[in-house]
Structure 1
Amino acid sequence: MAVNGGTHSSHQISITLGTIFCVLAIGHFALMWWLKTWMMVFIIAGCILEVTGYLSTAAGYGTQSVQVIVAPIFLSTSVYMSLGTLIKRMDVKDFIPFRTASFCFVLGNVVSLGLQIAGVVLGKVQEDKSLGTSITIAGLAVQLVQDLAFFTTTIVVHKKFLKSPFFESGKGVYGWKNYLMTLYILTSLFFVRNCFRIVQFGIGWNGYVARQAAFAYTLDGLLMVIAMTMILFIHPGLVYSRLKADPLLEHTSNEL
């Protein structure tokens, strides 16, 4: 049965998602502080946006909360930066400067964030929503390109790592092999979510997909919960700590 905004079911789901993201934010903050992985602050910011967005939805402001729509940009920023730090610590920088790669991904997210905020706000304040919708879709399209570029970059990095002598640090739950597999899954989840949002806005603010809140709860909220839970348990800070145990690896202590 479809879950429509304003129903009792929608209210309960929003409260549940808001609570889950609150717990995830606390968990990520604790690990960030413990492991000193400061680039994970963007994930915490994203989780907080998810919390405020779903609470506003529960309060009856609909499922098109600006916070929920832009939150994945913050979530993905930490994911992008975590790979840059892993490249630095593995000392595999010959294929592309890791700072340049991280900068490009973060810059793309900034552009996407600006477009999506502008588009959603225009869509809410203007009677003719076509301009706002087009701008929002453009911002989401930037994210899609980012997802594909990051997935490709991860593949290139994976191939480089497989040729490195640091096999021991690649083993186990917190080895770099498992973390790269996690990045593949996370990027795929972001990609599916962004495809859904493009379809949703493409059909229109009052289209079938936008009116059926179940789509947003499953193809956005649930996917982001899965993504943030995965990176909480396969945390990059724990992967970096695993690298320290490899005697062959010349570990650098500076954070990205």
Structure 2
Amino acid sequence: MANDKSNSIWSYNPSIALAIAVAILYLIPTCVLFLQTVIRYRSYFFLCVVFGSALEVGGYIARAVSTRQVDEIPPYAISSTLIILAPIFVAAGNYLLIGRLIQAVLDQNQHRILGIRAERITRTFVGCDIASFLIQASGSGIASSGNWQGNNAKIGTDVLIAGLCTQVLTFVFFLVIIWAFGKSAKQYTKLDAPKGWRKVLHAIYISSALILVRSVYRVIEFACGIHGYPFTHEWIFYVFESLPMLPAISIFCLYHPAKYLGRMGGLGKSLSSDAGVDLGQA
């Protein structure tokens, strides 16, 4: 419960119980992914998703602290920043995986998807996400310079929404890339493609679609303004921010890419001990 509602940064009375519960829920896939990625498979290429999951844990811990210090900016700012940054790292993991899947699964002369070469897909989409984040950060800076009031608030919010829309469009295009890859794989799959690679593809689909849901929510949230329904009701945040990101991360606990693509993520010949297990034909 908030200590001093009159000076609260929050536009509602935030729940410490919910913040702690969600932090614990995110801690589970974080620990599992760390053990799988670092200890079991030593697939360090996937550390970005582990890091993104850890940021979620830190974000909700900071949120729990902020519910007890409702008039203090630092815990609120830390929580918001970490929760905003986390999906970027998880998305980067998806970008990286699809590039590696293309190289591991398709014939050598089919490594270009919609005009983008497989080895450039990660850099292209990560670059788009970084640009989106910088636009959002600049918009937030403009709006906060006027204490989210007056003309600065309008200009800043418009810039911030533009950044969020850029993120949404990036993800829509990425889903199209995934679809195009799946279509190519029906005709040009290599004979020595890793078994079970489609499970990794399905995990990427699920994770990316859920991140897209979260990104659309953020656009709507800021489009409605700081006095709109999404900003003034806590359940909206947990349903459309916390809930989608949890399975977007956890799906990789079930279908860890190194289990199917090997320690090098399909780029090398060295496979993990589990990658050779008969997991069904792709």
Q: TM-score, normalised by structure 1?
A: 0.83
CA contact (8 A) 1:179 1:236 kept: yes
User: 1:106 Cα deviation (Å)?
Assistant: 1.1
Which structure is richer in relative contact order (CA contacts within 8 A, separation 6 or more)? 1
- Structure-2 separation of matches of 1:147 and 1:251: 24
User: Residue in 1 aligned with 2:33?
Assistant: 28
CA contact (8 A) 1:169 1:243 kept: no
Q: How does 1:1-256 map to 2 (within 5 A)?
A: 5-7=12-14, 10-33=15-38, 34-59=40-65, 60=67, 65-92=80-107, 93-95=111-113, 96-127=116-147, 128=149, 129-166=153-190, 175-241=196-262, 252-253=268-269
- Structure-1 separation of matches of 2:171 and 2:112: 22
Distance 1:14 1:251, change over 3 A: closer
Q: Which amino acid aligns with 2:241?
A: D
Q: Any idea what SS the aligned residue of 1:65 has?
A: helix
Distance 1:168 1:85, change over 3 A: closer
- Structure-2 separation of matches of 1:233 and 1:117: 34
User: 1:28 Cα deviation (Å)?
Assistant: 1.7
- Structure-2 separation of matches of 1:164 and 1:134: 44
User: 1:211 Cα deviation (Å)?
Assistant: 0.9
- How many residues are aligned here? 242
Bigger CA radius of gyration: 2
- Structure-2 separation of matches of 1:135 and 1:42: 27
Deviation per residue, 1:10-51 (Å, 9 max, x gap): 211111111222222222222222323323222122222212
Aligned-pair identity in percent equals: 23
Q: Which amino acid aligns with 1:89?
A: A
**Which region of structure 1 is more displaced relative to structure 2, 72-81 or 157-166?**
157-166
Deviation per residue, 1:108-127 (Å, 9 max, x gap): 11112222333344444532
Deviation per residue, 1:99-148 (Å, 9 max, x gap): 12221111111112222333344444532232332232222112111111
User: 1:153 Cα deviation (Å)?
Assistant: 0.6
Q: Any idea what SS the aligned residue of 2:188 has?
A: coil
CA contact (8 A) 2:164 2:219 kept: yes
- Structure-2 separation of matches of 1:163 and 1:24: 35
Task: Structure 2: give runs of 5+ residues left out of the alignment.
Answer: 1-10, 71-75, 271-282
